[in-house]
Amino acid sequence: MQRTKGFLALLGLAFVAALISLVPLWYLGVQSLSQGLQPFLDELFQDRTLSLIIRSVTLAICVTCASVIIGTFASWVITMSGLPVRFLLTIAFSLPLAIPSYLSAFAWISWQPGISGFLGAFIVLTFACFPYVMLPVSAAMSAINPVHEEIARTMGRSQFAILREVVLPQLRRPIAAGALLVALYSLSDFGAVAAMRHEVFTWVIYGAYRAGFNPTRAATLSVVLLAAALALTYAETFIRGRSDAATSGPAVRRRGRNRNSRASFIAIVGSCLVLVPAVGIPVVSVIEWMTRDTTRNTQWSSVWYASEQSFFNGIVTAVVTLLLAFPVAWCAVRMRGILAVIPERATYITHALPGIVVAISVVYVGIRAVRPWYQEFPLLIFGQVIIFLPVMVTSIRAALEKTPATLEDVAHSLGSGTMTTLLRVTIPIALPGLLAGIALTMLAAVKELPVTLLLRPTGMDTLSTRIWDFSALSDYAAVGPYAMSMLVLAAVPTALLGALSVSREQK
Amino acid sequence: MMSSSSALQLNNVSHFFGDHQVLDSVNLEIQHGSITALLGPSGGGKTTLLRIVAGFERPTHGTISINGVVVADPHIWVPPHERGISIVVQEGALFPHLSVSENIAFGLKKRRSPEARARVKEMLELVGLPDSADQRPSELSGGMQQRIALARALATQPALVLLDEPFSALDAGLRETLREQVVNILRTAGATALWVTHDQDEALSVADAVAVLMKGRIAQFSDPVSAYRNPETTEVAGFIGEAVSFSGTVEANGTSVATRFGSIELLRPQSPGPTTVIIRPEQFELVKTDNPHAVVTGEVLVTRYFGHDGTVDVRFEDGLVITARLHSRLLPKVGSFVGVLVNSQVLSFPV
């Protein structure tokens, strides 16, 4: 492989991105061992730590099992049930991904004030996480060749037997991959468990940081959480990497419309049972908050201000993330050898970092290393970039992989150097993918809570912090306009973009 | 020096991927204005050799010069965009985000200048697609796309055009027409070309010279006729065209060989002794069993009818099966017995 100047510049930038991603790990190492190994071990082997682990794992397992059932059912509805308007259903089923977990948690609480703790967290997380199972499983389902089912039918199998003997065995890997993702997200989610006051890792870490101001305990618990998250991430990549072999041959025939009335009935009733709690309750609650009689006038100017801040924050985060993620993805796709893989692996580790851990690490790094930036805008961006790098790298990678390497070879042979080729060939072809990456990151940054909460500059209010602050006071009438703005500006576009990219992949 | 130098010269080029040797001391010289086919089985190192010439890979050992200028040796390495070489690859080679004329102009210095416009027009006419300047690559058929890819490669007047199995993604009928068109375009442009292919017919019909690359070595480098008629090794003989091989003994005179088919004249004199005889299907003649010249007879196993001609598999008593190619009118009946003659000079290689 050639080593031109442009090449080395890209590799250098990729390593800068990798170093930024590793800041939280560095902090955790330093902080958890700051008083030596013994305090770290003492903190680790306490009864309260053990019961914390049990509570967190129980929640993760319950959420995962429930999500697998709901997610697989939803995939069946949108790929195999033969219902019309499948595209609309796909959007509806992916909407929960776009609704921030703290927002649906507050919706449930305002509707059923008694709900809290394990049950509340379980309900909210399950209905928020099942799309992580649905997305890989529905992709695999639509790749299953209907011919297999027809052959099974000619051999005298019933519909149900076909599902059990032919379809489900082909879905083992995508279901497992989705389940691991759900487990990862339910372990690292902050918003839902915080709203439900359920004492699992993220909420306790936040408490140790905020109330107790016990950095060593926060760091020690973070290390445990990170270890679990890394194990799940590793297992997920392992399974996903092997699942490609399971897809069937090139000529997959399109599925005809199924006229089976019993299947349609099950699909319709089941979809309602899923969509009402997952989408209906949050959306209806927000509308109801808006119409609540309120003694004071809504401060529309501050709603506007918060939306503006959220958007500005989102755009800056997305652009900075793109600039750092591009070299990482480019090296991973176009270079060979260990050097090219290191940055991508490094950023992928952060995929397992719960937002609250990133937030606390960046706070401490801010206080110690870049004091002038503490509680300033750049540090907030810094924290968010760490969180969104892995997703951005993955989406740019996918876009770059669609640009055949031979096109770059041809451009080189026609006299373009590395950088010129990047500007004239690679980026223009990957542009739709890059724009989608920017849009998705921007919307995700608007919804993000823990990092914004801890790192926002004094006086800065975004939609997410406003919703958090007012909901904590149960002032839902005040939350209404902010929540509505969040749904309209972030959640719906996220769901649309997600559904579009899924349907494009399936074509 | 410059005027007498060849367009491309490879001296002792070897290449390794890790411990695996892909190219082994390759020497190759390509003359200005010639078309050289680089022929070989899949996995023989053809694509690696092409990528090394283009500059996408740096050879482990050896020297490469283009027009007498060294572009790669242990100390020098010229990156691909400074080599003045252009490539035409299998498929999907056009930039999808650019129009046809923008694709052709890609390598030109001032892309919007009148000169560049004129050059693009000239190239479009050369490849016979003068009206497609504003079309998108996706609107063109596979064959048209390859002609535009060729126009783009020739527009910069490169020292060398590399064609990497340019038609392997197209169907057979189209391939043959396009092959002739491309050869005509290359000849008209006076271009020097290195044409990588695994298709013997393609190599023999398009090239001035054929380099056979097997197991990382140049097994033969000659004109197409010699490559077919006078291969230097049994492997080359077996790879270029079909052949039956069996053992025989070179007679004392050194010019004929004693075989089961009787004494046959040799193409190349050889010292007496045991040898491997190579016979192509079209060298066999099938006659009636009572023909006085027929030394052996065999049973017809299979006949294959191809329209104009056909092939016959004949099995002898000891189990040897040969394939003969005949005019389709002469195909015998399956199960009948025929006499087999060899009616021209044959190749043999000492055992």
Give the number of beta-carbon pairs within 8 Å between A and B: 72
Helix (H) or strand (E) holding B298: strand B296-305
Least confident of A234-248, A255-269, A333-347, B245-259: A234-248
Per-residue confidence (pLDDT) for residue A258, from 0 to 100: 57
With bands split at pLDDT 50, 70 and 90, how would you rate the model's confidence at A293?
Answer: low
CA separation for the pair A488, A483 (Å, rounded): 9
pLDDT at B36: 95
A240-267: average pLDDT: 59
Q: Do A413 and B80 touch (CB under 8 A)?
A: yes
Residues B133 and B24 in one domain: yes
The mean pLDDT value for B17-22 works out to 88
Out of A288-302, A336-350, B19-33, give the one with best mean pLDDT.
Answer: B19-33
Higher pLDDT, A8 or B153: B153
Structurally, chain B folds into a number of domains equal to: 2
Q: Evaluate whether residue B1 is within a structural domain.
A: no
Task: Say if residue A242's pLDDT is above 60.
Answer: no
Identify whether residues B250 and B189 lie together within a single domain: no
B265: left (phi over 0), alpha (psi -120 to 50) or beta: beta
- Considering the domain architecture, whether residues B139 and B255 belong to the same structural domain is answered as no
Domain assignment present for residue B2? The answer is: no
Mean pLDDT, residues B320-325 taken together: 90
Cβ contact, residue pair B81, A415, below 8 Å: yes
Nearest to B190 by CA among B38, B29, B31, B9: B31
Query: Quick one: pLDDT band at residue A123, thresholds 50, 70, 90?
Result: very high
pLDDT at B122: 92
Domain boundary (B238, B264, B282) is at B238
B262 lies in some domain? yes
A498 pLDDT higher than 80: no
CATH of the domain at B313: 2.40.50.140
Is residue B49, in this structure, part of any structural domain at all?
Answer: yes
Q: Which residues in chain B touch residue A423, judged by CB atoms under 8 angstroms apart?
A: none
Q: What is the mean pLDDT of residues B193-216?
A: 90
Identify whether B3 is part of a domain: no
Q: B154 by DSSP, 3-state: which?
A: helix
Average model confidence (pLDDT) across chain B: 88
Instruction: For residue A413, give the nearest of B58, B87, B90 by CB distance.
Output: B87
Of A44-53, A184-193, A385-394, B140-149, least confident by mean pLDDT is: A44-53
* C-alpha A21: how far from chain center: 17
| Nearest CB to A2 within list B79, B85, B89 | B79
- Span A365-413, pLDDT tens digits: 888 777 777 778 888 898 999 989 888 888 888 888 877 888 888 888 8
User: Which residue from A407, A413, A431 is facing B85, i.e. has the nearest CB?
Assistant: A413
Does the pLDDT value for residue A302 go beyond 70? yes
| Residues B218 and B289 both lie in one domain | no
What is the tens place of the pLDDT at every residue in B38-82?
998 888 889 899 989 998 888 999 999 999 899 999 888 888 888
Asked if residue B193 and residue B64 are part of one domain, the reply reads: yes
Statement: residue A457 has pLDDT above 80: yes
Amino acid, single-letter form, for residue B332? P
User: How far is Cα B173 from Cα B141, in angstroms, rounded to an integer?
Assistant: 14
Domain that holds residue B216: 8-238
Distance from CA of A295 to the nearest CA of B (A): 58
Residue of A nearest to B87 (CA): A410
Please tell me which residue, A74 or A405, carries the higher pLDDT value: A74
Encoded tokens for B303 = 């006949």
- Residues in B touching A429 (Cβ below 8 Å): 95-97
Asked if residue B15 has pLDDT above 80, the reply is: yes
The arithmetic mean of pLDDT across residues A276-284, rounded, is 90
Q: Dig out the tokens for A103 from the structure.
A: 């927002």
End-to-end CA distance of chain B: 44
Q: Are residues B222 and B260 in the same domain?
A: no
Identify the pLDDT of residue A364.
81
Contacts of A411 in chain B (CB under 8 A): 95, 106
Contacting residues of A for B86, CB less than 8 Å apart? 410, 413-414
Give yes or no for residue A252 having a pLDDT over 70: no
Q: What is the reported pLDDT for B213?
A: 93
Sorting pLDDT into bands at 50, 70 and 90, what band is A298?
low
**Cα–Cα distance measured from residue B40 to residue B320, given in angstroms and rounded to the nearest whole number:** 28
Q: Which residue has the higher pLDDT, A319 or A224?
A: A319
pLDDT (tens digit, 9 = 90+) per residue, B127-172? 999 999 999 988 888 888 989 999 999 998 899 999 988 887 778 7
Closest residue in chain A to residue B95, using alpha carbons only: A407
CB B275, CB B282: distance < 8 Å: no
Element (H, E) at A383: helix A377-401
Domain match, B183 and B38 both: yes
Of B80, B89, B97, the CB nearest to A428: B97
Residues A324-351: tens digit of each pLDDT: 999 998 888 887 777 778 888 888 777 7
- B93 and A406 in contact by Cβ < 8 A? yes
Closest-CA residue of A relative to B52 is: A1
Tell if the pTM clears 0.90, that is, is over it. Answer: no
If you average pLDDT over residues A349-361, what whole number do you get?
83
B13 and B136 assigned to the same domain = yes
Where do the domains of chain A lie? 1-31+292-507, 46-249+257-288
Closest residue to B87, CB basis, from A2, A410, A429: A410
pLDDT cut 90: percent of chain B above it: 36
The pLDDT of residue B38 is: 94
Mean local confidence (pLDDT), A426-448: 86
**Cβ contacts of B80 on chain A, cutoff 8 Å:** 2, 409, 412-413
Chain B partners within 8 Å of A428 (Cβ): 97
Band of pLDDT at residue B25, cut at 50, 70 and 90:
very high
Domain end (from B184, B217, B238): B238
* Residue A467, SS3 per DSSP: helix
Domain boundary among B223, B238, B253: B238
Q: Note whether B228 and B258 are same-domain residues.
A: no
Q: Does A78 or B15 have the greater pLDDT score?
A: B15
Question: The domain at A46-249+257-288 falls in which architecture?
Answer: Orthogonal Bundle (1.10)
Q: Which of B77, B88, B95 to mutate to test the interface with A (most CBs of A within 10 A)?
A: B95
pLDDT value at position B187?
Answer: 92
Residue with tokens 């899923």: A274
Does B169 lie in the same domain as B58? yes
Percent of chain A's residues with pLDDT above 70: 91
| Per-residue model confidence (pLDDT) at position A248 | 43
Count the helix, strand and coil residues of chain A and give each as a percent rounded to the nearest 5: 80, 0, 20
| pLDDT for position A244 | 45
Q: Find, in chain A, the residue whose alpha carbon is nearest to that of B109.
A: A415
Domain A1-31+292-507 of CATH type 2.170.140.10? no
Do the Cβ atoms of A417 and B106 come within 8 Å?
no
Gap from A426 CA to chain B (nearest CA, Å):
10
Q: Do the domains at A1-31+292-507 and A46-249+257-288 have one common CATH topology?
A: yes
Same domain, B156 and B297: no
Cβ–Cβ gap B107/A1 under 8 Å: no
pLDDT for A219 equals 82
- For range A238-252, the mean pLDDT: 52
Q: Rounded CA gap, B58 and B72, in Å?
A: 7
> What are the CB-based long-range contacts (under 8 Å, 24+) for A468-472?
A468/A102, A468/A191, A471/A102, A471/A106, A471/A109, A471/A195
Q: With respect to residue B337, please indicate whether it lies within any of the assigned structural domains.
A: yes
In a shared domain, residues B92 and B111: yes
CA contacts within 13 A on the Cβ side of A117: 2
Is the Cα torsion angle B169, B173, B176, B177 positive or negative in sign?
A: negative
Cross-chain residue pair B92–A404, CB shorter than 8 Å: yes
Alpha-carbon distance B177 to nearest alpha carbon in chain A (angstroms) = 25
Q: Tell me, what's the pLDDT at A496?
A: 74
Residue B197 predicted with pLDDT over 70: yes
Band of the pLDDT at A64, cuts 50, 70, 90?
A: very high
Contact A420, A413 (CB under 8 A): no
**A214 or B281, greater pLDDT:** B281
Q: Which helix (H) or strand (E) holds B96?
A: none
Q: What is the mean pLDDT of chain A?
A: 82
Judge whether residue A43 has pLDDT over 80: no
pLDDT above 90 (res B200): no
Which comes out higher in pLDDT, residue B14 or B169? B14
Q: Do the Cβ atoms of A344 and A10 come closer than 8 Å?
A: no
Give the span between the Cα atoms of B337 and B291, in whole angstroms.
12
| Cβ neighbours around B304 below 10 Å, total | 13
> Chain centroid to CA A132: how far?
9
Per-residue pLDDT, averaged over A428-447, amounts to 86
**Look-up of token digits 């769901």:** A495
A-chain CB neighbours of B54 within 8 Å are 409, 412-413
- Mean pLDDT, residues A158-163: 77
Check residue A356 and give left, alpha or beta (phi > 0: left; psi -120 to 50: alpha).
alpha
In a domain, B253, yes or no: yes
The answer to whether residue B18 sits within a structural domain is yes
Closest partner residue to B106 among A406, A414, A429, by Cβ? A414
